[in-house]
Amino acid sequence: METESSVSDEDDNIASLQLYLDFVDHHVRPRMLRDRANPVDDFDDVDFRARYRLDKGAVAMLLGLIGHGLVNLSRRGVPVSPINQLAIALRFYAWASFQVSSVPSSFKYINM
């Protein structure tokens, strides 16, 4: 037969568990899966060349040469595909920046 103290301990445990579950529900971020687009498919030839300073054929050839070294064999996380790794590197090499500027450069407005 249960005593009154064991019933109150059980009620305390249930209340503590409920508080913990409420905390976890409100503080754990949901897992986000990102859809990384393929830049070869997303851009036409003109925009691709403007962004990466190479045409799609040259990038395909380069990917064929070095793509095997870009494959991530780990199953951890969300690995970046070889084409996206190459696109990121080429974008940086072309513009020395990872960001795309939507504002014209200030040097165009300097009168000499």
- For 36-83, the pLDDT digits (tens) are 788 899 999 999 999 899 999 999 999 999 999 988 887 777 788 899
> Structure pTM?
0.57
If asked whether residues 74 and 21 sit together in one domain, one would say no
pLDDT in tens, 14-36: 888 888 877 766 666 666 666 77
Same-domain status, 48 and 23? no
The pLDDT assigned to 106 comes to 46
Same domain assignment for residues 72 and 95 = yes
7 shares a domain with 25: yes
Residue 111's pLDDT is 44
Q: What is residue 45's predicted lDDT score, i.e. its pLDDT?
A: 93
97 and 63 in a single domain? The answer is yes
Are residue 53 and residue 5 in the same domain, yes or no?
no
Number of domains present in the structure of the chain = 2
User: Whole domain around residue 20: which residue ranges?
Assistant: 1-30
Same domain as 17, residue 61 = no
Tokens 């780990």 locate to 74
CA–CA dist 60, 68 (Å, integer): 13
Q: How many CB atoms lie within 10 A of CB 46?
A: 9
pLDDT score, position 71: 87
Give 103's pLDDT tier (boundaries 50, 70, 90). very low
Question: Which sign, positive or negative, has the C-alpha torsion 53, 56, 58, 62?
Answer: positive
**Is there a single domain that holds both residue 23 and residue 48?**
no
Do residue 23 and residue 71 come from a single domain? no
Please list, in sequence order, all residues whose beta carbon lies within 8 angstroms of the beta carbon of residue 25, skipping any fewer than 6 positions away. Answer: none
Per-residue confidence (pLDDT) for residue 110, from 0 to 100:
44
**Based on the domain organization, do 13 and 68 belong to the same domain?**
no
- CA 42/CA 25 separation, integer angstroms: 37
